[in-house]
Structure 1
Amino acid sequence: MSKSSKDSRTQSAPLGAASWVTNWAFARGESVVATAGMFITGMVAATVVGAGAWTYYTHRKTLTEAQQDALAQAAGSAAPGIGVALAHDDLTTAQSLMEQFARAQGLESATVTLPNGTVIADTRGKHDANLKLPEKWTGNEQVGTTSTYADDQFTARACVPVSGRGNAILDVTKAYTYQPLAHLRTQIGIGVTGAVVLSMGLVMYRRMRLRMRALGAIQESLRFASELEDGQLSASGLRLAEDLGSEALAWNRLLDERERQNHRTALESAAERLTAGVTAAGGGDYAAAFDGLWQGLIVLDDEGKVRVANGAAAVFLKRNKGEMTGKEIGALLRFSDVTTLAMNVATGKARQRASLEASDQMTPDAEKTVLRFTVRPMRREDGSAAMIVIEDVTQQRVADESRNGFVAQATHELRTPLTTMRLYLEQLVEDGDKDPLVKARCLNVLNSESRRLERIVSDMLSVSEIEAGTFKVRGDDVNIPELWSHLEEDFKAQAADKEITLSFETPPKWPLLKGDRDKIEMALHNLVGNAIKYTPEGGNVVVRASEENAVLMIEVSDNGIGIKPDELELVFEKFYRSKDKRIASITGSGIGLALARQVVRLHGGDITVKSQIDKGSTFMLTLPASASIGAAKLAA
């Protein structure tokens, strides 16, 4: 997208402050679901907090009312016994009964008073032990009990009936503080409920976000396209990042197809004008331009016979150009579907443009060619009835197959370390605490597989950066001995599993390199990993380092299956996999060597290979060195 396009977009559709913040904070297309996602998250959080607060309130209220009722019932139950003792003037028994009642209920205080306020009995000792009850008294016609709760304290009052004398009053108090942690099960229930609700909300948002990001980006692209003037619209400015998902991939394919369609339309229009010029002028500059087109062009009359054809069409169809004119198209094409389509358009049975693809392979050993035939009607006064445009799309299909193969291989490459990590994690959880050796082995494997997984993902990201033209290397000091040690440690177990003798030979002194340590290590990992991968059990792999004329040379030699001479350069192409049937069962993404050579060349070096079938291969990596210092010094 050009700067002018962006400026025009900004001027024609100014964004509000909220929209600007959303577009700045989220990736392209995410702003569409950001508001919904934040709203859902807020609603979930509010629901969890509200549920917790409501549960806390109702639980506390229920417990308080239950304690209050229980205290009132207990006071009502104790009052008759105390009244019997008072009826017999037995104040000592009444005091004893009240103290037992207070201990049993955990009361702070319990007091029995007469209606006039005289204290008859008190658990705090605030009564007259020598008090003589009057024969009869009046007042306190209360029936039943009452209770209240305030300031973390329960208060209950009960009527004490004293037979033949009147009613006394029993007042009790009890301290009570609500303890949330004392009801841990309820709190855990609240937390689990909140976590489940929040998790469901996050899962819903995640699914919506993954599905809507691409749709939002497509909507932005369409809005942007609607703001452009005719002639300014370019597919490159509307393309989406492929990591947005299948919708983005489909959108990009539509854009690519639109570009190809526009190109074909322009080509056909130009070819039509050229054809008219060729047939009218009988040759000259028009004929030269017609033959100079890289697409094949054939013009048919209404009987399906060739009126004119250019040189590219003759090459694609493997025919002599001079012999094509006047022949029926069916005699020139080996593809019955294309012949039928061309005849239908030429004779007027079909009036729409159509395209077909056909594979052309003369012999089993010959290389397969994929041709696209586009047939369109062109009714003209000179008798031209149809035009056939022939394009070689072999490389596009090979790229598609390579990309699909890469995805399949990459998926397998990722699944392998993940499966290993899962199995060892399960063993670590089950037996790690029982056996220190098992624990150490599991942790070692997990560390190794996580580093392997990191390298695979790093390779994939590096390929994407190379495709986008953003692949860069740093210029830091590289500690080669440390890198060498890591390399030997990483592949020791893998070589031992295949009973391969893996040896590392070091120079007397190491050169000092400047470069990107991680990417250099990645290149060496790919070379050594391939050597072990393609060497049969019991073989030998030697990694040898030396310095000559301020150049670090690292040879990775093996006695494995070797590489065919015609594939020595092809193995450095992205997504290429050797045709050797022996490697069909060996996993690989086809990007390792291409990535390794790219990295080394960006450092000013190169990777070359020598190989013989069934004898082995030697890959030579060279890097320019800035200085040489002793290995012992660097290792220290």
Structure 2
Amino acid sequence: MKLNRIGIILIACALAAITLVVALLVVRQQASQAAQVRNKGVGLVKALSTVPMTLLADSSGRGGVLAAVLASHDGSDFAYVTIGDANGRTLAEIAGSGSIAPATPLPADAQAGFGERTLPATGGSAPLREFYGPLADASGGKAYVRVGFHQPGFTVLAQDVSFLALLALMMFLVVPVMYVVIKREMAPLAALSQQLRGQLRQLAAPGRPDQAGADDMRELITNMQHYLDQAGARIVQLEEGSLNTTADNRLLQYGSKKLNAALQSLPDGLLMLDPAGDVTFASGKVEPLLGIPMDQILGQPLDAWCCDPALRTLFGRYSGDLRDNARSHKIDFAPLNVEGRQLSATAQPLSGGHGTMSFGTLVVLRDVTREYLARQAGNDFVAHVSHELKSPLNVIGMYAEMLADSDDESMRVESLNVIQDEIERMNALVGNLLNVSKLETGSMSPERNRVRLDDMLRDAYEQALPRAEGKQLRVLLDLPRELEAVAIDKDLFRIALNNLLTNAIKYNRPGGSVTLAARNEDNEIVISVRDTGIGIAPEAQDRIFEKFYRVSEAGAATQRGGHGLGLYLAAQIVELHHGRLVVESEPDVGSTFSVHLKIVSAPAGAAVL
């Protein structure tokens, strides 16, 4: 019975929905027809208002304008067209079949222009929709044209009947489908209800013992309760399984995201290749290392993005039928898309099942530019030091032979002087190398004390005089009357100062000058070494403080010795004292090296050396 009620309710709902849809469609059609009537009325009034009055007044039916209007609107909602004044007096008119033009005065605002109004129904006819407007040619008076149409009613157009019937049929067919589905789902409950009714009828039958009926009912209720308990337990089990599955999925997503974040944060670039050689994963570090956008790498074949021959050869070992699934390989190469960079690529096959299964290849890209430059610098260092030591040794050996074979006293003195100079050159080189080694290993720590710079600068000036006089140079000392004391390592700073003076003397011209000066400037003391030598080109000024770097000059390589450590060592010592070494130079004019040291106030009673 309950299912029958549900079916009836479904049918009623379907019929209500069909009725509502049909009503909405009828209302929409009525609104559409009203809009069409308005468009026709406004257009007809505006068209007739421009026609001369002589043509409009000819209503004899012999081809006048109004007759033409009636012929063109025959069979539609057209009612009438009249030409008259504002009070309703008609000069000419024409009306459709069964229509009468009402003699109704126009509204007071008719003189303002075109308008429209609704006229009530008269004599059982439908209400009228009238449109009016002034005539352009009124023949000396004020005349108006009025056009009337029957107000559209609520009707169903013939062309829409088939569509509405099809829509109603489709909606009505949904009802039996829903009824069948509901009936099928409720069939177990209906069977249970029928069984309960049968039991109740047996209990109510005459002559049946009450105890037997009660036992049957108790057994039925017990079985039903057992079934419900099993169904509830199964539902709980399914819910727990769903929760566990959701938790496992979230845990897997979290683990995947955490692993991906860890791989992305590694300083090296990672590439994961499938057995076919296509990239399935690439970390963010790969793009700056190779200079290739990420979207051109992921999911693309090797030939589409890799332009480095060495890398293509490495990838070729781990793709195709002859791939190597047992050994890793490493190569060093310079990427073509990134200038000045050296990379190391290590490929490791990913296999399982004791090598019987291949999951692809992991490629690790490392930036080894610094290591490469360090190795290259080490090789250059060994070659440079070997050359610098070999040259004075050859000179010493040559003059030693001359000293042994010659009896000329002047030749012996010259040989001894040359040998002494070369020994001093070798000592300077070895001393600078030891100091550089201490600086780079961090074993050189300055013992800073407050020092009077004027005394130390005068000592450096006096030591530079003999070397300058031997090259026909003048050495000048320019010190203020009072010079602040600074906290420096006196012995270490003297090495930097002597290197600057030696450089100024070595790269000067005969007859030139070297000026050692100092001045107080704000919170700094500036010590400058100025020469009138060959100067330094602008492109070389950024590199003169590099280790072993020497300025290239035509003819100077054989005329001036040097090992390229003096300025490097001076800059490092000044930096240890938290100072700055600045160069200003102009080719063929001279150079000025300035040491800027901070003035630090001394505590009370501090000694000054």
TM-score, scaled relative to structure 1:
0.46
The structure whose Rg is larger is 2
TM-score, scaled relative to structure 2:
0.48
